[in-house]
Homo-oligomer: A and B are copies of this chain.
């Protein structure tokens, strides 16, 4: 799923950057957004506020759906914990005295479906909030907006007076979780569902089978989970529990059973399904593997028919994902029976053979009353109407399919395991601005899904790999295309991060535990300073520099690191401020000096920590680099603020130092502060040339430096 996709992803990023979507540029005349994420379609803040002072009551009028009452109870409990007020929900017709009135137009089926009406309106006056929606799902979206409106100041908690009219831009807004490579327990899945509901996502795409694990109980074919999972699988009761939990939050669950490739774990118990005889073992390493279903064996289709029949009955959603990605055909080419089958049927290559397989499976999916969804590779003319393509290739192939009348969702650009910044994901739009589609064609682009592949993700780290970045992607899927202010989304990510923690997500709380483990319980403060400025290597470079397999524990520095260093982000902002203040270079000077000094002087404490912590045995070079880079940055700031020119040798040696520190190393982390320090060094090195220039010349030249994109570390 991952290795080759990274290439197309990089291309996509390059395009997004060219299109200007990647840079932070406040939307002109943007409305106040407060803590709202995703930003509603229309939000108008007004004078006044509704103070939350006493016991808070929620009244549910009109349709009294049990799901809606439960949703009100949940938001009430959150409000209660957050504000310290007691809270209660009543189902009633008289709503006069309630603090929040929820009016819902009509009851909807127990399980949410694609293109459900999710619109709602919310009106907060100085004495009451009124939420109106056509459906339970719309009301639930509105409840999340209501919750995000709660503010506090000297006078206590309150809701600002506001009018919101809202509905989603795309109907399919998902998160894919790969429980195949690393199993994710039910409790982990449930708290992701809580987080998804908070940011108005509505699809959990559950990647349940992989070379490395078959994660769902089959009562028809028990050797699938018994022999293919190391005992780590979901029982059917647990699956039903997850589906109900998701439905209670207006979230669909779409299961994926990946075939014909990515299927080694199926063959451990049922080797006769495979192209080559076996025996097969659960795969422990990462990559694109050769084992595949034998598409020429009728018994395979009979098996798939029975298996998908069982799964179709278990999962209520109309869509069923059959994978289809990265089947390399290696084993097919080695099987003479398959070769003669292809000759006989006039199938010219393995791509066509996969098409034959996919069309057979599609017929089975249809027979069981489901619509098929699969990765890019499934696209072919012989498929039934109503299928959905999930694109890892990019917007263009998605737009191309849409022109041909095929519905699709975008995942390229939303790979959370690539460890990219929220801004990078935020810049990717499912519908490219230049796609030139008719409205009908554009409607085929249903939305997108973020993907959490788990080669390097454990149940302990998964929250930190998903959140809070997923909230930025969720905004891209829900909010109007015009909402693109990167600084504002980062401001709101800080806030929603707190909300998500209160919901039980552990992306921040896990940090202390991981650092204490790394230091064997000793003082973590020096290590905290280091971990705050490093990021895991991007895309799949981690695997090249620190190879691991399924059995390798994920408890090292790289696992403790956040995907995106907020400290580095703040640092870059300070550097930008300093350089914009040319040629005085006073703005932010004190804060920059304090940060750089901390990094320069951290080394003795870090050395002690590392020396007695075997799990940190790969962290020594990074710790030394941090110290050296801090010193270089301090020198640069000193040159700038005194306008005393550094020597040419200084420039050369300091840039070489940064270059060296950018090289991949076995710790598999990157120092995220390198680009900022490089800007300082280059700016300082310009002093001799600019010394006698006019003020305007300084400004121009240094502004260029400040916006210049330095080479990314580790490339």
* Residues on A facing B (Cβ under 8 Å): 80-88, 152-154, 156-157, 187, 237, 460, 494-495, 498, 501-502, 506, 508-513, 516-517, 520-521, 551-553, 555-556, 611-615, 617
Question: Beyond A509-B512, A513-B509, A556-B84, is A614–B156 a contact (Cβ under 8 Å)?
Answer: yes
A508-B513 in contact (CB<8A)? yes
Which residues of chain B come closer than 8 Å to A613, judged between CB atoms? 152
B517-A82 in contact (CB<8A)? yes
Q: Output the nearest chain B residue to A187 by Cβ-Cβ distance.
A: B187
Given known contacts A152-B612, A152-B613, A494-B521, what 19 new A-B pairs fall within 8 Å (CB)? A81-B553, A81-B555, A83-B615, A84-B553, A84-B555, A88-B551, A152-B520, A156-B614, A156-B617, A157-B614, A187-B187, A237-B237, A495-B521, A498-B516, A502-B513, A508-B512, A509-B509, A509-B513, A511-B512
- Min CB gap A547→B, angstroms: 13
- Min CB gap A695→B, angstroms: 37
Q: Output the nearest chain B residue to A512 by Cβ-Cβ distance.
A: B509
A498-B521 in contact (CB<8A)? yes
Q: How far is the CA of A187 from the CA of B241 in the complex (A)?
A: 14
Which residues of chain B come closer than 8 Å to A153, judged between CB atoms? 612
- Min CB gap A707→B, angstroms: 30
Q: Jot down 15 A-B pairs with beta carbons below 8 A, ordered by A.
A: A80-B553, A81-B555, A83-B615, A84-B615, A85-B553, A88-B551, A152-B614, A153-B612, A154-B612, A157-B614, A498-B521, A501-B516, A502-B517, A506-B509, A508-B512
Which residues of chain B come closer than 8 Å to A82, judged between CB atoms? 517, 555
**Candidate in A81, A87, A552, A555 with the most chain B CB atoms within 10 angstroms:** A81
Q: Output the nearest chain B residue to A509 by Cβ-Cβ distance.
A: B509
Q: Output the nearest chain B residue to A52 by Cβ-Cβ distance.
A: B614
One of B86, B156, B511, B556 near A551 (C-beta < 8 A):
B86
- Min CB gap A559→B, angstroms: 10
Q: Output the nearest chain B residue to A618 by Cβ-Cβ distance.
A: B84
Which residues of chain B come closer than 8 Å to A516, judged between CB atoms? 498, 501, 508
Q: How far is the CA of A565 from the CA of B360 in the complex (A)?
A: 67
Which residues of chain B come closer than 8 Å to A551, judged between CB atoms? 80, 86-88
A611-B498 in contact (CB<8A)? no
- Min CB gap A34→B, angstroms: 13
Q: How far is the CA of A171 from the CA of B84 in the complex (A)?
A: 43
Question: Beyond A84-B553, A237-B237, is A611–B154 a contact (Cβ under 8 Å)?
Answer: yes
A614-B501 in contact (CB<8A)? no
B517-A498 in contact (CB<8A)? yes
Q: Output the nearest chain B residue to A190 by Cβ-Cβ distance.
A: B187
Q: How far is the CA of A502 from the CA of B157 in the complex (A)?
A: 36
Q: How far is the CA of A439 from the CA of B153 in the complex (A)?
A: 66
Q: How far is the CA of A302 from the CA of B502 in the complex (A)?
A: 46
Q: How far is the CA of A521 from the CA of B499 in the complex (A)?
A: 9
Q: How far is the CA of A75 from the CA of B601 in the complex (A)?
A: 39
Q: How far is the CA of A428 from the CA of B85 in the complex (A)?
A: 39
- Min CB gap A183→B, angstroms: 12
Q: How far is the CA of A520 from the CA of B150 in the complex (A)?
A: 11
B512-A552 in contact (CB<8A)? no
Which residues of chain B come closer than 8 Å to A553, judged between CB atoms? 80-81, 83-86
Which residues of chain B come closer than 8 Å to A460, judged between CB atoms? 81
Which residues of chain B come closer than 8 Å to A508, judged between CB atoms? 512-513, 516
Q: How far is the CA of A492 from the CA of B622 in the complex (A)?
A: 32
Q: How far is the CA of A85 from the CA of B555 in the complex (A)?
A: 10
Which residues of chain B come closer than 8 Å to A511, judged between CB atoms? 512
Which residues of chain B come closer than 8 Å to A501, judged between CB atoms? 513, 516-517
B152-A84 in contact (CB<8A)? no
B81-A552 in contact (CB<8A)? no
A81-B517 in contact (CB<8A)? yes
Q: How far is the CA of A715 from the CA of B203 in the complex (A)?
A: 56
Which residues of chain B come closer than 8 Å to A612, judged between CB atoms? 152-154
Q: How far is the CA of A377 from the CA of B183 in the complex (A)?
A: 49
Question: Beyond A502-B517, A517-B498, A517-B502, is A614–B84 a contact (Cβ under 8 Å)?
Answer: yes
- Min CB gap A282→B, angstroms: 13
Which residues of chain B come closer than 8 Å to A520, judged between CB atoms? 152, 498
Which residues of chain B come closer than 8 Å to A615, judged between CB atoms? 83-84
Q: How far is the CA of A82 from the CA of B82 in the complex (A)?
A: 35
A83-B512 in contact (CB<8A)? no
Q: Output the nearest chain B residue to A614 by Cβ-Cβ distance.
A: B156
- Min CB gap A514→B, angstroms: 9
Q: How far is the CA of A267 from the CA of B41 in the complex (A)?
A: 50
Q: How far is the CA of A83 from the CA of B555 in the complex (A)?
A: 9
Q: How far is the CA of A4 from the CA of B501 in the complex (A)?
A: 38
Which residues of chain B come closer than 8 Å to A614, judged between CB atoms? 83-84, 152, 156-157
- Min CB gap A209→B, angstroms: 23
